[in-house]
Amino acid sequence: EDCLYLNVYTKHINPDKLRPVMVWIYGGGFQFGEASRELYSPDYLLREDVVIISITYRLGPFGFLCMDDPAFDVPGNAGLKDQVM
């Protein structure tokens, strides 16, 4: 499934200067949402000299379906594992 993306935003690229990093994980009750929506544009935060990272993760049954039967091999919480990864 091609759904895991990492967006990195910064105002300036200078490998000699360290900057604070903000990681943003969108909400949506684990059912809907996306990291690249214009509503969540990083422009306001980029007024400061920071690096902003937003991630995507599997949603709905693709990320949070759990079948508590070893025969199905669906342990659940893949969406949370995506966020930790």
**Cα separation, 73 vs 10, whole angstroms:** 40
**Residue 61, both tokens:** 């049954």
Counting as low any pLDDT under 50, the low residues of the chain are: none
* 50 within domain boundaries: yes
* 67 within domain boundaries: yes
Give phi and psi for 40, each to the nearest 5.
-105, 30
* 1 within domain boundaries: no
Q: Which domain holds residue 44?
A: 6-84
pLDDT of residue 51: 92
* 34 within domain boundaries: yes
Distances (CA, A) of 6 to 26, 74, 83: 12, 25, 10
Are the C-beta atoms of 84 and 78 separated by less than 8 Å?
no
**Residue 43, both tokens:** 């422009």
Prediction pTM value: 0.74
